[in-house]
């Protein structure tokens, strides 16, 4: 058994997507996720000496300034991953041509802007399907990291969407199939017929869950530093590889960054940036001391078939 590995990712969802998911008018969305959140993550990773992957939405590059932040990620030694062209939460329900374009155009546009290879894919809302996997594979990606086998997250998402329906608001989010809860916890080659099962298809790096705790930024924020470090430690004891996930907005706050107060529907945006940064620093510091942290593109290239 070799040394443990870990990967750290940041989904760069612009605030527009938060307005959409909560059914708010996105006209007032700012570029703070790109302009403020991304540089804060680059600085945090530099302090810890860890390479990461930034999963980006290609349409965001059409707005001024964002492509410069994308290139800053590359210049700092990070990988750019494909988080699709338009971040359609209903990606798996789109017709095949539109779905394929979301995947292939997203990759092509990100690669052109980054000036670096884009080989990793993460689906909006962690929802995937056999058809989507086939598109991801055929469009030149070498790995996928869209499976999130987390019951608390799944149930919370179902609960929030039910609540919004009761209030007469429509979320653009969709709930994927519950098979995701039975997916392997560690990296695996996915079945071509069902990406949530093992097979001979594309390498899949699920977002990690340790003893029921999802290793994601909002969970760390809710837990605080000591419990976040403990959950990373438990994960490292139980699994050979951990995939830890953040969103660029995880290092933003309403008060610190003067954001639209309506975004307070995301409770973690009420937590000061300094507090969240200290929690993430503690959790990632523990990870970096006990595992080899590498970009997923590099881990996928190493030995995907032996990763189990």
Which residue, judged by CB position, is nearest to Zn ion in the bound state?
A: 13
Least distance to Zn ion, CB of residue 231, Å: 22
Q: Is 11 a binder of Zn ion (CB under 5 A)?
A: yes
Least distance to Zn ion, CB of residue 205, Å: 16
Which CB atom, from 13 or from 59, has the smaller least distance to Zn ion?
Answer: 13
User: Does residue 247 come out as left (phi exceeding 0), alpha (psi in the -120 to 50 range) or beta?
Assistant: beta
Part in contact with Zn ion (CB under 5 A); list of ranges 3-11, 134-142, 224-232, 294-302: 3-11
Strand 213-214, strand 198-204: pairing: unpaired
Residue partners of 146: CB distance under 8 A and separation at least 6? 121, 122, 123, 126, 127, 128, 132, 195, 204
Least distance to Zn ion, CB of residue 210, Å: 22
Least distance to Zn ion, CB of residue 12, Å: 8
Which CB atom, from 11 or from 245, has the smaller least distance to Zn ion?
Answer: 11
CB 252 within 8 A of CB 32: yes
For residue 36, how many C-alpha atoms fall within 13 Å in the half-sphere facing its CB? 16
Helices (H), the chain: 15-21, 32, 38-48, 66-75, 96-114, 130-138, 151-166, 217-223, 225-238, 254-257, 273-290, 296-302
How many chain residues are in contact with Zn ion, going by CB under 5 A? Answer: 3
Q: What angle do CA 22, 57, 208 make, to 5 degrees?
A: 75
Which CB atom, from 13 or from 144, has the smaller least distance to Zn ion?
Answer: 13
Q: Is 250 a binder of Zn ion (CB under 5 A)?
A: no
Which CB atom, from 10 or from 50, has the smaller least distance to Zn ion?
Answer: 10
Site string for Zn ion, 166-205 (x = CB under 5 A): ----------------------------------------
Q: Is 13 a binder of Zn ion (CB under 5 A)?
A: yes
Residues 86-125 that bind Zn ion (CB under 5 A): 124
Residue 129 CB neighbour total at 10 angstroms: 19
Residues lying near Zn ion in the complex (CB under 5 A): 11, 13, 124
């Amino acid at each position: 058994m070799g040394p443990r590995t870990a990967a750290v990712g940041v989904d760069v969802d612009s605030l527009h997507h938060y307005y959409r998911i909560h059914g708010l008018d996105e006209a007032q969305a700012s570029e703070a996720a790109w302009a403020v959140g991304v540089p804060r993550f680059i600085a945090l990773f530099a302090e810890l000496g860890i390479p990461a992957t930034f999963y980006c939405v290609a349409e965001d590059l059409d707005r001024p300034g964002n492509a410069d932040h994308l290139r800053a990620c590359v210049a700092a030694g990070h990988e750019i991953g494909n988080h699709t062209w338009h971040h359609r939460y209903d990606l798996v329900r789109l017709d095949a041509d539109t779905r394929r374009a979301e995947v292939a155009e997203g990759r092509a546009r990100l690669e052109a802007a980054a000036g670096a290879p884009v080989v990793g894919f993460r689906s909006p809302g962690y929802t995937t399907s056999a058809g989507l996997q086939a598109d991801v594979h055929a469009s030149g990606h070498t790995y996928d990291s869209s499976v999130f086998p987390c019951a608390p997250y799944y149930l919370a998402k179902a609960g929030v969407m039910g609540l919004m329906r009761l209030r007469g608001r429509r979320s653009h989010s969709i709930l994927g199939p519950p098979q995701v809860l039975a997916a392997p916890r560690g990296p695996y080659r996915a079945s071509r017929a069902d990406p949530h099962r093992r097979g001979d298809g594309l390498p899949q790096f699920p977002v990690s869950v340790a003893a029921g705790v999802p290793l994601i930024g909002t969970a760390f924020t809710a837990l605080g530093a000591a419990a976040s470090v403990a959950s990373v430690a438990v994960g490292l004891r139980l699994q050979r590889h951990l995939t830890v996930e953040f969103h660029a907005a995880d290092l933003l706050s309403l008060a610190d960054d003067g954001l639209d107060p309506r975004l307070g529907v995301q409770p973690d945006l009420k937590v000061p940036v300094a507090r969240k940064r200290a929690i993430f620093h503690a959790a990632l510091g523990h990870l970096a001391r006990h595992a080899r942290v590498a970009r997923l593109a590099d881990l996928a290239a190493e030995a995907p078939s032996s990763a189990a």
